[in-house]
Structure 1
Amino acid sequence: MAKVKLLIAEDDVVIAHNLALSLEELGYEVCATVSSGEELLLEVHKHNPDLVILDITLDGKLDGIDTATILSKSIKMPFIFMTALSDKGTIDRAKLTNPHAYLVKPFDIRTLQSSIEVAIHNASRSQSATTTDAAAAPNTESPDHYLLHGSLFVKVRNRLEKVELEDIVWAEAQDIYCNIKTQKHVYLVSQSLKNLEQRLPDNTFMRVHRSYIIRLTAIEAIEDNNILIGGKSIPIGNTHKESLLKRLQIL
């Protein structure tokens, strides 16, 4: 299962190293630690993290707030500030970048963990909302999954677990819920299959039956009116068969 990927920007090498170790012990992946805003922007494009944790005081010409402004406006990357600066001027300047959290040092690792989970949650919901038709009725169901950077965040007990879209093979309706099947796991989420379908990219996923969505590249064979994926036989609905065949390269 893919881990939540974090990038740390901190100009104190010792603090950055200790923070990275603590976060990795909590189950996160720290893809890089950098000391300057310029280096951060390069590493963001290289690693495409789920969240950036950055100090306001950084090496180089760009401080943390300058860098966060670019993350917010150009890259649309969620971020958390951590800083020893708590004066009103700094806070007012930082607020303009819309951070997902502002932590004043010293703080404990559990506080940071809570801020990370909330930031991922809120950023994912925000991105999902922007891809939904503005004229659609509000979704009143309790959201248990969130889209972000080609991934699906599934709520499992008290945490959000990251699932890459490319790992999903099919989804199956279970009354008002649905199962999401990956290569190694099955997740039960309190969303209807219809709502899930609206959130998955239609160039990769397709509804093939009133009870099933599949990832097209996961198809192993088609036999009569069934699709074979990983040893499972998935029926093809009559209203979906023609559309499915049009999307396949048949020799």
Structure 2
Amino acid sequence: MEKVRLLIAEDDVVIAQNLAFSLEELGYEVCALVSTGEELLLEVYRYNPDLAILDITLEGKLDGIDTAAILSRSSQIPFIFMTALSDKETIDRAKQTRPHAYLVKPFDIRTLQSSIEVAIHNASARQQQPASINTEATAPSAAENDSYLLHDALFVKVRNRLEKVALRDIVWAEAQDIYCNIKTPQHLYLVSQSLKNVEQRLPGKDFMRVHRSYLVRLTAIEAIEDNHILIGGKQIPIGNTHKEALLKRLQIL
């Protein structure tokens, strides 16, 4: 019988290593130990584990709940939260991601083992049910657009708050696997949306896809050099399939 393959996100190195050792003694295979949500999302595609175990407090820009939300939209891999946090706000956030278990530290290894076995069993049962509507955001309808309170700004989730980002301040957006970076002159935001979804939220008259991984504000372009756009000192590549369309939208003397 094949070993159950686990991926662990825990920012305390000692706890992570002890946990991995205990799980391996129980017969599990620990594919990797990571300390950030960003790393976990990358390793998921590398190892395709049977289950992910996430601490809620992680290094990096994504906490465990943010990471799990992205994971649940992009895969069917079950996940378990382990945390020292048991306040109502954290639990309410965690419930929205539909975790397969929520363990409050300290817990014993047998409790974790039981949670792993139940999680994998329940995940298998879920996958056998009729497919539900894909939760990945699609192009907003006209009715949805009309329902937005603001048409000149987005709200970006940063930890436990939503920060208002004016569309006029966005200079470029960059795809990062299954999430996306949005750049303003002051900040770099990591959002749990694909570049395609971000593009659909931005006005086409101001923004343009110039590469499969980049979207830019046309008025922010400072120069075009060879096959690159310069914006705020950053070199952004121009894709071959986008170059002609880009040049048509610029006034060139």
TM-score of the aligned structures, taking structure 1 as reference length:
0.51
Question: 1 CA distance for matches of 2:3 and 2:129?
Answer: 23
> Per the alignment, in what secondary structure is the counterpart of residue 61 of structure 2?
coil
Q: CA deviation at 1:129?
A: 2.3
Counterpart of 1:62 in structure 2 is 62
Counterpart residue number, 1:127: 127
2:98 aligned partner = 98
In structure 1, the residue matched to 2:118 is 118
Whole-angstrom CA distance in 2 between matches of 1:89 and 1:33: 27
The aligned counterpart of 1:9 is: 9
CA drift of 1:130 comes to 3.1
How far apart are residue 128 of structure 1 and its match?
1.9
State how 1:178-193 maps to structure 2 within 5 Å. none
Q: What is the Cα deviation at residue 23 of structure 1?
A: 0.3
Query: Over aligned residue pairs, what C-alpha RMSD do you find?
Result: 0.9
Q: How much has 1:105 moved relative to structure 2?
A: 0.1
Name the aligned partner's letter for residue 9 of structure 1: A
Deviations, residues 53-99 of structure 1 (Å, cap 9, x unaligned)? 00000010000000000111122221000000000000000000000
Listed one character per residue, the Cα deviations across residues 11-64 of structure 1 (whole Å, up to 9, x for unaligned) are 000000000000000000000010000000000000000000000000100000
Match of 1:196 in 2: none
Give the equivalent residue in structure 1 for 2:29: 29
Q: Partners in 2 of 1:81 and 1:113 — Cα distance?
A: 13
Structure 2 residue ranges without an equivalent (≥5): 132-253
How many angstroms apart in 1 are the aligned matches of 2:123 and 2:51?
A: 9
Q: How many residues align structurally?
A: 131
DSSP 3-state at the match of 1:129: coil
**What CA distance in whole angstroms lies between the structure 2 residues aligned with 1:110 and 1:3?**
17
Please list every run of at least 4 consecutive aligned residues from structure 1 whose deviation after the TM superposition is greater than 3 angstroms: none
Give the gaps of 5 or more residues in structure 1: 132-251
Letter in 2 for 1:2: E
| Distance (whole Å) between structure 2 residues aligned to residue 8 and residue 129 of structure 1 | 27
TM-score normalised by L of structure 2: 0.51
In structure 2, give the amino acid aligned to 1:118. Answer: V
CA distance in 2, matches of 1:78, 1:130: 17
Q: Distance in 2 between matches of 1:60 and 1:43?
A: 15
